[in-house]
Amino acid sequence: STHNSEAFFGHPGGLKTLFVTEMWERMSYYGMRALLVLFMTASLQDGGLAITIASATAIYGLYTGTVYFMGLPGGWIADRLLGGQKAVWYGGIIIMFGHIVLAIPNDKTFFIGLILVILGTGLLKPNIGAMVGQLYSENDKRRDSGYAIYYMGINLGSFIGYLVCGYLASDFGWHYAFGAAAIGMAAGLIQYRLTTPKLEGVGAKPVAPLSAKGQRNSWLIISATLIAIAIITVLTFEGIVVIDPIATAQYVAMAFTLIFVVYYAIIYFFSDLTGNEKKKLWALLLICIASACFWSGFEQAGSSLNLFARDYTDRMIGSFEIPTAWFQFSNSMFIILLSPFFAAFWIKLGQRMVTPAYGIKCAAGLIIMASGFIVMFFAAQYAATGLQVAPGWLITTYFLHTVGELCLSPIALSAVSKLSPRRFAGQMMGIFVLTYSIGNIISGLLAGNYDPNNVEQIPSLYIQISLFSIGIGIIILLVGLKSRFWEALKTEEDDTAA
Ligand code: GLN
């Protein structure tokens, strides 16, 4: 099928549905996320929760890590029980209720709101990403650029979120900002409902449904899990279960990595894959490793780079002080500005030579991101001498991080869509989103080494991240170039061979 009825920038009309839905979902996610650490660490007089910085950043890491971890069950539920369309719909509703609960000024309900956002995003995020790819037939050349457009929607959403929620939080109060996130998600849901027909059946049914009995059992297990989560939450509120966020984050990072390996292995060994499908999964594994390493560095944006902006960057322009959070903004702004150039660049490259393989782009993205930390290494050395550094250092870093992101992130999404066996579409996207999760948690743990009382140590933190990422990037290039399964990574060859 070509799904061409109503085009959106020369793409299937369904892309617009998914673009706008994900835009609003990301507006709510990033709008709230930008405030999370600030809100938790703010004093009680300032309407915050007065939690220590160490615990707040650990909770932040656990939250962002778990949000993406839940993509795994979320993808499975779509593949086996609900289909992508319903998973996105119910996921969005749960997210909206999460933000409504966050809008209530009360510290206990605050954590219930977070849990709802986690559960809802798990249902929505991987499945909306998988459905983008399903708009295209196997050999449709528009897939990569479809994901590039979709990625623009993600960042348009985060841009609006930072702007609106940041403004509301500073001028009206935290809970107005959280309420705005709920309204954004509601707008996305209304739009989604009205334009679902444009998806032309994509995600309408589970790709590999369970038997009626299997479905019943699965819903029982899901209900039992939800009840267990509710009980643990209540016990934590009552002080009967005490959760140490820092230790928990360390265990959870290990557990998520282990789960990634086991899940991947189960799909590889026990799903009757053909030889070709197995080859593609090896190729995909390289991309997943690149992705996890990439986000471990990149996601310092919300933590150590954010603190660097606050503590060591000269933010005065004349008598105007640049708000710390504005530096976060530069990422979504650079994405929006650079996306059209990248789209043109890939097309140009494609005309002149063989389209670069997915893996080459991902390795390049990782290495370019890492070079941003070389910039930070020098900036931190100046800071260690007691100077306030110019904003240009961080902005250059964010520029390099964004260029790296555009080489890796939309490309990787497209690769997952193309290289996954169709009957595992949602789950493979869930596994891929698990690399966000691992990256976010490791990033939080790395940021724990950022110690304002020991500023001499900060350059070495950054240079270590940089060298590690460059090393992995080079290994991925070499492994890929040397081995046979590199073929599966080539966009063009796949098309002609199919
Ligand atoms: N900005 C991207 C998104 O929201 C990637 C997020 C991430 O942490 N990997 O989809």
d(CA 288, CA 416): 9
Where is mean pLDDT largest: 69-78, 311-320, 418-427? 69-78
Residue 353's pLDDT is 56
Torsion of CA 408, 414, 415, 416, to 10 degrees: 110
Protein residue with least CA distance to atom 10, ligand 1: 154
Query: Which atom of ligand 1 is nearest to 155's Cα?
Result: 1
> Would you say residue 485 has pLDDT above 80?
no
Q: Is 27 in the pocket of ligand 1 (CB under 6 A)?
A: no
> Six-digit token pair at 35?
């405030």
Protein residue with least CA distance to atom 7, ligand 1: 436
Give 50-60 pLDDT, tens digit per residue. Answer: 888 778 878 88
> How far does Cα 73 stand from its chain's mean position?
16
> Would you say residue 463 has pLDDT above 90?
yes
What predicted TM-score, i.e. pTM, was given to this entire model?
Answer: 0.87
d(CA 117, CA 481): 41
Q: Is 154 in the pocket of ligand 1 (CB under 6 A)?
A: yes
Beta bridge partners, 317, equal: 320
> Would you say residue 392 has pLDDT above 90?
yes
Residue 482's pLDDT is 66
d(CA 114, CA 122): 12
**Rounded (5°) CA angle 82-87-88:** 155
Band of residue 3 on the pLDDT scale cut at 50, 70, 90 = very low
> Six-digit token pair at 86?
């319903």
Residue 356's pLDDT is 56
Mean pLDDT of 292-303: 89
* Residue that the structure tokens 């650490």 belong to: 37
Q: Is 440 in the pocket of ligand 1 (CB under 6 A)?
A: yes
Give the burial class of 191: count Cβ atoms within 10 A of its Cβ; 0-12 exposed, 13-18 middle, 19 or more buried: middle
Residue 326's pLDDT is 73
Q: Is 128 in the pocket of ligand 1 (CB under 6 A)?
A: no
Among 65-69, 251-255, 424-428, name the one with the lowest average pLDDT. Answer: 424-428
Beta bridge partners, 11, equal: 8
* Residue that the structure tokens 């809100």 belong to: 39
8 A C-beta contact, residue 228 and residue 119: no
Protein residue with least CA distance to atom 9, ligand 1: 436
Best of 28, 29, 154 for a ligand 1 pocket test (most atoms within 8 Å of beta carbon): 154
8 A C-beta contact, residue 65 and residue 441: yes
Give 219-259 pLDDT, tens digit per residue. Answer: 999 999 999 999 988 888 777 777 888 888 889 999 999 99
Task: Provide the 3-class DSSP secondary structure of residue 49.
Answer: coil
Residue 375's pLDDT is 97
Q: Is 442 in the pocket of ligand 1 (CB under 6 A)?
A: no
> How far does Cα 288 stand from its chain's mean position?
13
> Would you say residue 456 has pLDDT above 90?
no
> Six-digit token pair at 108?
């206990």
Best of 432, 436, 443 for a ligand 1 pocket test (most atoms within 8 Å of beta carbon): 436
8 A C-beta contact, residue 443 and residue 296: yes
d(CA 452, CA 463): 17
Residue 395's pLDDT is 94
Beta bridge partners, 366, equal: none
Query: Which atom of ligand 1 is nearest to 440's Cα?
Result: 8
Q: Are strands 320-321 and 316-317 parallel, antiparallel or unpaired?
A: antiparallel
- Which residue, among 428, 405, 373, 419, has the nearest Cα to 294 in the 3D structure? 405
> Would you say residue 76 has pLDDT above 90?
yes
Centroid of ligand 1 to alpha carbon of 401 (angstroms): 13
Residue 350's pLDDT is 67
8 A C-beta contact, residue 389 and residue 383: yes
Percent of the chain topping pLDDT 70: 94
* Count of other CB atoms within 10 angstroms of residue 350: 15
AA identity, residue 69: F
> Would you say residue 406 has pLDDT above 90?
yes
Mean pLDDT of 386-398: 93
> Would you say residue 370 has pLDDT above 90?
yes
Q: In this predicted model, which residue has the larger pLDDT, 142 or 22?
A: 22
Q: Is 26 in the pocket of ligand 1 (CB under 6 A)?
A: yes
Residue 483's pLDDT is 57
Residue 134's pLDDT is 92
Centroid of ligand 1 to alpha carbon of 66 (angstroms): 13
Query: Which atom of ligand 1 is nearest to 298's Cα?
Result: 8
Band of residue 484 on the pLDDT scale cut at 50, 70, 90 = very low
8 A C-beta contact, residue 253 and residue 108: no
Q: Is 450 in the pocket of ligand 1 (CB under 6 A)?
A: no
- Which residue, among 275, 243, 291, 308, has the nearest Cα to 411 in the 3D structure? 291
> Six-digit token pair at 295?
């986000």
Beta bridge partners, 8, equal: 11
Q: Is 295 in the pocket of ligand 1 (CB under 6 A)?
A: yes
Residue 352's pLDDT is 64
* Residue that the structure tokens 């819903």 belong to: 219
d(CA 16, CA 205): 20
d(CA 112, CA 107): 9
Mean pLDDT of 431-454: 85
Query: What ipTM is given for this predicted complex?
Result: 0.96
Question: How far from 447 is each of 103, 402, 405, CA to CA, in Å?
Answer: 29, 19, 20
Residue 6's pLDDT is 59
Question: Which helix (H) or strand (E) is 416 found in, with range?
Answer: helix 391-419
Mean pLDDT of 4-10: 68
- The DSSP result for 216-276, as a single string, is HHHHHHHHHHHHHHHHHHHHHHTTSS---HHHHHHHHHHHHHHHHHHHHHHHHHHS---HH
Count of alpha carbons within 13 angstroms of residue 142, beta-carbon side: 18
DSSP designation for 51: -
> Would you say residue 150 has pLDDT above 90?
yes
8 A C-beta contact, residue 447 and residue 304: yes
Percent of the chain topping pLDDT 90: 52
Centroid of ligand 1 to alpha carbon of 125 (angstroms): 10
Protein residue with least CA distance to atom 6, ligand 1: 436
Task: Provide CB contacts within 8 A for 351, sequence distance 6+.
Answer: none
> Would you say residue 44 has pLDDT above 80?
yes
Centroid of ligand 1 to alpha carbon of 102 (angstroms): 22
Residue 358's pLDDT is 81
Query: Which atom of ligand 1 is nearest to 29's Cα?
Result: 4
Task: Provide the 3-class DSSP secondary structure of residue 320.
Answer: strand
Give 340-369 pLDDT, tens digit per residue. Answer: 888 788 777 766 655 557 888 899 999 999
What number of H helices and E strands is found in the chain? 18, 2
Centroid of ligand 1 to alpha carbon of 158 (angstroms): 10
